[in-house]
Structure 1
Amino acid sequence: MGPKELSHDGPIVPRLAAIEDMAGMSILCSDKTGTLTMNKMVIQEETPVYKKGESQYSLLRYAAMAAKWWEPPRDALDTLTLNAVDMPSMSAVEQLAFLPFDPIVKRTEGTVKEISTGKIYKTTKGAPHVILKLVTSTNQNQKANEAITAAVEEDVHSFGLRGIRTLAVAKTNDKDQWEFLGMLTFLDPPRPDTKQTIEDSNKYGVAVKMITGDHLLIARETARVLGMGEYVKNAAQLPHLDPVTKKKPDLLARDYGNMCLATDTFAQVLPEQKYLIVECLRELGYKVGMTGDGVNDAPALKRADVGIAVAGATDAARAAADIVLTQPGLSTVVEGVLISRRIFVRISNFLTYRIAATLQLLVFFFIAILAFKPVEYMPSGWETIPEFYDSKEWPEFFKMPVLMLMLITLLNDGTLIAIGYDNAKARDTPEKWNLRVMFVVSSMLAAVSCVSSLLLLKVSLQSWQHGNFLRQFEVGRLSYGQITTAIYLKVSISDFLTLFSARTGPDWFFSIAPEWSLIGAAAVALLVSTILALTWPESTMDDVPIQGLAQGKPYDFIMYIWVYCVAWFFVQDAVKVLTYYLLKTFNVFGFNDTGKLVLPDSALRYIRDNKAKDLHSINASGSRR
């Protein structure tokens, strides 16, 4: 039922255990493009050119040559360039070779031939610092290299401060040397709901960290607009795999843990570093989610506790992920977290109740068998008392027919089926199992039910004694068969009512309205138990007398049993609330310890020691990184 409920809001869950992991997720590492942003590039008018005679349109045309323009666009950047050029004019050139985009190389390249002249040259588009390195490596003019480097870095820095992305375009000249033609500028606006979604995520105890391959300044500005925090790190400061063995650093969490915890945004990240960031956070003990869409995201998606393939992801990313989104954006992830937590709460409440119900039965019958000898409660001279209904001595010890125990269990199991559809309230912090707390709460619920059942058994066995408590309600002189049936009804009612206390966790039973299916199932079970207790034919089963409560005086005893059970239910719920209050107040068994990200003192010191230095580095030379 969990995957079905999640699928209504977009996520598909191939791995069922991911529901539990998502409920406990405390850190979400999110890709920027397409998840936090629209992934719809909007070209800007500002177009810095570095070669005389070039224009925005010529740059767009050269950029289109560094793509397979006759095919559907492969990504948002191809869509941007191909939609802006006159496609019939592209028939004037023929593409001879093509180098597709690689997240490590960060550029594409096309080798084209002009059909009219036969001239062959290469064009490329990509990240400015990558294209700049390519251009300067083939040009021996040091002065020209310094000039173009200064101009490009200044423009990239200027645009980056405004959150404007740049796409560099270059081509080879007659000497097969690369020339930096200019840069196209564009915006990838955030989704309208992203900022609110991030606020909601933080409210529910899930810290969102942005991991992007974009320039440091672009990432910083995007984080500022979305309210994600201002502490940014770039690839040079992040861990790397060993270049020879391709293994992670041996002391990854020790050396990089504080940085990964403190950093809000990771910029210019390589695919291998996504994996290492996730691994570092996991080694620190947090449950980490990771969103991705490409082949290179697969290792990080696989390593994360909750790998999330976003809408439109590649087959490799979908195969590596635990959850696949069918709708774009981060809002479906946050909604999935809440649904997962509600499912977790239902399971937790179910287990709490199941333990309580089992303990109630075991402890009650254990004590009843050892502590009560029904034969000792028979009135003296019972053979000569006309009102004494039984014709033989009561048993040496209390017991209940197996059939009655089976009925309690079967009706109980039938009711529990409906708990999967019950209303549940998602908590504001990540979920984690605390079995000691669960056992304590279950034990208190069971203790109240057990005590009330033992008290009723005691006063029922004493019904023939003068001054008995039941005599005040004009109830007394019960047959042993009626006592057996009364205890069966009491245990049944208490068992079912305990469910309504356990289902609300630390809150009062009336704080969360139960689903109608649960009410209906419980009502049927209680009605069946009551009718059986009223009309059970007089008989003997397993050497135990049984008699329906409607077959002899007192006729209204069943009403008093119901009132008695309901009164004890209020006591039981109050004890439960008090137990949770004490557990929370004194943090017993780590009750208040959730998986929520709370920066340790070491991470706060790291921010304090490095923030000024990093900020100066960003402002002074961000464009060179």
Structure 2
Amino acid sequence: MSNEKPPASTLDADIDLEKIPVDQLLTKLGVQAEQGLSSPEAQQRLSQYGPNALVEKEESLSAKIMGHFMGPIAYMIEAAALISALIGHWADFAIISVLLLFNVGLEMWQDRKSSNALAELKKGLAPEATAMRDGKWQTVAAANLVPGDIVKIRLGMVVPADVRMVGGDYASIDQSGLTGESLPVTKKVGDEGYSGSVVKQGEMVCVVINTGSNTLFGRTAKLVAGAGSVSHAQKAMFQIGNFLIIVAVALALIMVAVQVYHNFVVADTWDMNDALSILQFVLVLLVASIPVAMPTVFSMTMALGALQLSKEKAIVSKLSAIEEMAGVNILCSDKTGTLTKNQLSLADPILIEGTHAQDCLLAAALASNIEDKDAIDTAVIQALKDQNVLNNWKKLKFVPFDPVTKRTSASVIDSTGKAFVVTKGAPQAIIDIAKPSTEIAQKVKDAVAALAAKGSRALGVARSEDNGVTWSFLGILPMFDPPRDDSKLTIDNAREKGVLVKMITGDDTAIAIETARQLGIGINIIPAADAFPKEMDPNNVPPEIVDLIEQADGFARVFPEHKYAIVKALQSRGHLVAMTGDGVNDAPALKQADCGTAVSGATDAARSAAALILTAPGLSVINSAIDEARRIFGRITSYTIYRVALTMDIMFLVVLSIIFLGFTPLTPIMIVAMSLLDDVPIMAIAYDNTPVSEKPIRWKMPQLLGVSAVLGLFSIAQSFGFLLIGMEVLSSPTEQAFFGLTTHAQLQTLMFLQLVAGGHLLLFVTRTERWFFLRPLPAAPLFLAILCTQILAILMCALGWLVDPISWTMIGWTWAYNLVWMFLLGAVRLITEHLMAYRTTRHLKSLKMVNQPLQAHD
């Protein structure tokens, strides 16, 4: 056979190298199994197909750092810092810059932890391989393997590329990290093996059919590199920032136009100082409108939530995932080791010709070898009530599992010198050697079929007293991977929270259906091969398949691209998806999911791709994560409504008073001080007591901005009304001055205090959809932070720090005015929420009526 390089079409997608006969495969690849490739030919193919390695696009450190200073929120913060520098407010510039650097540092720390999935995947690849080159076996770098290379795999080795078996007896390969199968798979000549899987038993000669990014492992890495979704919190902050900036710019333009008209046309006193004064105030107003502290408040709130989750054995590696978890309505869960124990268990033996269950188990245990650490052998031996009984027999010979005979066997002798032979294996293989009567054979087949329908594997056991001449079919051992004790309760609790659980596994359909039935998930389990065409683009799933995914309770026999496609398809229908997994095969889906969760014992690749890492077995902590996420989302929503409403209050107050009253209610230093007094202590909202929503919650910007706008309008009325009262007092004769208010500077101080006090009282209204005096009450850290801030503001106004001093009486009346409005704003919040809920309910009813199919009359 020629050793010439095969044409480029050899490895085209239309040729299924995993299925064609071995002799045709070798011909297609242009190689002889006995000779392998020559060194020149291997080098030529290496140039054609590239190295057998994962190629990662390198990004410079400077580019990574600059990337964190880009984006809508970063641009707004940078604009605020620039404006502060332009007008010479260096204290404000310093504070804003610190906030910017804090956010960038936090993002870089998160990225360092969460973007190493590809690096961890690389660790799973074999560094070296044994290949036939120039007619002799050589050790070569795995990265230099090419399609057509003849390689040898043996116990303990990592399969270096995607291969087909062309020689040898058998190999038992653990490919669970790639396919999710719960047991090692026995391979014989003609079978395929995947790069990154581990050889547990045996030795085989193979031919390489795919290398690098074309392997199953490589395709998984490519999906990981391309996976990921933008945080909904980032989108929300962008929308909120846009809303505030648009309002601020519009008001600033109106204010500038009015001022220019007044100075240039009416007063005819326009000069450069007037222009600079207007520009300075416009810039300060824009600084006040930018939610500089919003990313910091979001980050701190989620960081404290992450700390709380860490106490419950869950490590958060991507803070935004906490906020995403609040809106998750579908949880795609891996089966093996997550919903189940990943420990083979034996049910009571089904006796055929045996008389005692323990005798049947003993025969199976004698036909096992604990030193091989085989999952089946271990489960059989552990099922014995007394394992010490094995010491009463001595093994004369042990034959390990053979994929041809599909059984193990052992010759043993007891203390009296009596010898016999025992065997265990596939029930049909035991029938073939035992040759029982037709009635007994049918009984075995019926029992095996019944077990298969329940998703249990069957192991036949036989014993011979005459050195294998005649056999007695003792019985059948049912084997299964039992569900974890807490899995059903976890699923039920998740369902009560409005989260639908879909099971995704690499195991057979029957096993998946039985596990799903026991857990109450539903039995609409679909084999992935039946749902997904072989050449489907996982990033563009056809609509009819998306419909199937939405309706299914789970999938069996899945590969990495299937899991990724399932998550991507569900997201395309507006679902927020959490995904759990533990293997390399789960990494793409974990990274793509809104909240990828690596379960206890997960591989490094899975942990690096995930946003949430569970350190305790099982899924029970998921419900705690959902509860904590919904609390955090409630806190963030409260802050957002507060921030938007208060910003509207400040901006409209300033612009309206300048336009209609010709009075500037706040000085630039007051605006900066007010921003600090309002935002810095509000970071304590991360500790607030918040109720847990019963259903998934997510960003509903029209509703959120609607509530914010309504509260903002009433807050404007509150502040502008207070200003009008002050202006009325100032216009009265001096001897009738209200509690000593005599100057416009004092009125500015009053407005400063009203906005600082009213702003924090507004937070008590926004933090709950109920009356603010009902439980849950504000947490102590939040209450104390606001209390200290208010004391500081009162002292500033009473002692004249940065503002003109006012009397204690004026301070008292300002607080009384705000407390009255606090109750009024509370009522406004309740009415607004009620009207929006009513409108939403009517809208949903209308949609249901419109979508209801017409039925013919009888």
Instruction: Decide: shared fold, TM above 0.5.
Output: yes
1:407 aligned residue: 673
**TM-score between both structures, scaled by the size of structure 1:** 0.71
1:81 aligned residue: 380
1:619 aligned residue: none
> Partner letter of residue 531 of structure 2?
P
1:198 aligned residue: 491
1:168 aligns with 2:459: yes
SS of the aligned residue for 1:209 comes to strand
1:335 aligned residue: 624
Superposed displacement of residue 332, structure 1? 0.6
**What are the residue-to-residue correspondences of 1:488-503 with 2, within 5 Å?**
488-503=752-767
- Please point out which of 41, 45, 70 is paired with 2:371: 70
1:23 aligns with 2:314: no
Separation in structure 1 between the aligned mates of residue 753 and residue 546 of structure 2, nearest angstrom: 58
- Name which of structure 1's ranges 209-218 and 513-522 shifts more when overlaid on structure 2: 209-218
CA offsets per residue over residues 50-86 of structure 1, 9 Å max, x none?
Answer: 9999933333444x34xxx326x575x5542242466
- Please point out which of 490, 497, 510 is paired with 2:773: 510
Do 1:278 and 1:304's aligned partners in 2 also have CA atoms closer than 8 Å?
Answer: yes
Superposed displacement of residue 270, structure 1? 6.1
1:208 aligns with 2:501: yes
SS of the aligned residue for 2:331 comes to strand
Separation in structure 2 between the aligned mates of residue 316 and residue 78 of structure 1, nearest angstrom: 30
Superposed displacement of residue 216, structure 1? 5.2
SS of the aligned residue for 2:642 comes to helix
- Please point out which of 699, 707, 710 is paired with 1:444: 710
Unaligned segments of structure 1, at least 5 residues = 100-106, 126-130, 374-396, 603-625
- Please point out which of 767, 791, 813 is paired with 1:560: 813
Do 1:464 and 1:476's aligned partners in 2 also have CA atoms closer than 8 Å?
Answer: no
Structure possessing the higher relative contact order (Cα contacts under 8 Å, 6 or more residues apart): 1
> Partner letter of residue 327 of structure 2?
G
> Partner letter of residue 80 of structure 1?
A
2:721 aligned residue: 455
1:351 aligned residue: 640
Superposed displacement of residue 527, structure 1? 1.0
Superposed displacement of residue 451, structure 1? 1.1
**What are the residue-to-residue correspondences of 1:556-595 with 2, within 5 Å?**
556-587=809-840
> Partner letter of residue 580 of structure 1?
E
- Name which of structure 1's ranges 80-89 and 436-445 shifts more when overlaid on structure 2: 80-89
- Please point out which of 151, 158, 162 is paired with 2:450: 158
- Name which of structure 1's ranges 303-312 and 518-527 shifts more when overlaid on structure 2: 303-312
Do 2:681 and 2:786's aligned partners in 1 also have CA atoms closer than 8 Å?
Answer: yes
**What are the residue-to-residue correspondences of 1:230-309 with 2, within 5 Å?**
231-235=523-527, 238-242=530-534, 245=535, 247-248=536-537, 252-267=541-556, 273-309=562-598
**What are the residue-to-residue correspondences of 1:83-232 with 2, within 5 Å?**
83=382, 84=384, 92-93=396-397, 131=426, 151=443, 154-159=446-451, 165-168=456-459, 183-186=476-479, 189-212=482-505, 219-229=512-522, 231-232=523-524
Do 1:166 and 1:183's aligned partners in 2 also have CA atoms closer than 8 Å?
Answer: no
- Name which of structure 1's ranges 304-313 and 575-584 shifts more when overlaid on structure 2: 304-313
2:805 aligned residue: 548
CA offsets per residue over residues 388-408 of structure 1, 9 Å max, x none?
Answer: xxxxxxxxx324222222221
Over 3 Å counting, the alpha-carbon distance change for 1:272 and 1:154 in structure 2 is farther
**What are the residue-to-residue correspondences of 1:35-74 with 2, within 5 Å?**
35-39=338-342, 41-48=344-351, 55-62=360-367, 64-65=368-369, 69-70=370-371, 73=373
Determine what percentage of the aligned residue pairs are the same residue: 31
Do 2:364 and 2:423's aligned partners in 1 also have CA atoms closer than 8 Å?
Answer: no
- Name which of structure 1's ranges 208-217 and 45-54 shifts more when overlaid on structure 2: 45-54
Over 3 Å counting, the alpha-carbon distance change for 1:277 and 1:319 in structure 2 is same
Separation in structure 2 between the aligned mates of residue 298 and residue 353 of structure 1, nearest angstrom: 39
**Across the two proteins, how many residue pairs are aligned to each other?**
526
- Please point out which of 601, 616, 620 is paired with 1:312: 601
Separation in structure 1 between the aligned mates of residue 364 and residue 443 of structure 2, nearest angstrom: 17
Over 3 Å counting, the alpha-carbon distance change for 1:211 and 1:57 in structure 2 is farther
Superposed displacement of residue 44, structure 1? 2.7
SS of the aligned residue for 1:290 comes to strand
Over 3 Å counting, the alpha-carbon distance change for 1:249 and 1:530 in structure 2 is closer
Do 1:164 and 1:186's aligned partners in 2 also have CA atoms closer than 8 Å?
Answer: no
Over 3 Å counting, the alpha-carbon distance change for 1:581 and 1:157 in structure 2 is farther
2:314 aligned residue: 11
Separation in structure 2 between the aligned mates of residue 296 and residue 45 of structure 1, nearest angstrom: 34
Do 1:241 and 1:248's aligned partners in 2 also have CA atoms closer than 8 Å?
Answer: no
Separation in structure 1 between the aligned mates of residue 447 and residue 766 of structure 2, nearest angstrom: 63
Over 3 Å counting, the alpha-carbon distance change for 1:351 and 1:96 in structure 2 is same
CA offsets per residue over residues 298-333 of structure 1, 9 Å max, x none?
Answer: 444344333222212233433333322111222111
1:420 aligns with 2:725: no
SS of the aligned residue for 1:587 comes to helix
Separation in structure 2 between the aligned mates of residue 233 and residue 82 of structure 1, nearest angstrom: 33
Do 1:209 and 1:264's aligned partners in 2 also have CA atoms closer than 8 Å?
Answer: yes
Superposed displacement of residue 268, structure 1? 5.9
SS of the aligned residue for 2:729 comes to coil
Separation in structure 2 between the aligned mates of residue 449 and residue 438 of structure 1, nearest angstrom: 16
Over 3 Å counting, the alpha-carbon distance change for 1:302 and 1:461 in structure 2 is closer
1:612 aligned residue: none
1:382 aligned residue: none
CA offsets per residue over residues 329-386 of structure 1, 9 Å max, x none?
Answer: 221111111111222222222222222222211111111111113xxxxxxxxxxxxx
1:606 aligned residue: none
Over 3 Å counting, the alpha-carbon distance change for 1:234 and 1:123 in structure 2 is farther
Do 2:512 and 2:525's aligned partners in 1 also have CA atoms closer than 8 Å?
Answer: no
CA offsets per residue over residues 504-528 of structure 1, 9 Å max, x none?
Answer: 2x33323421110000000011111
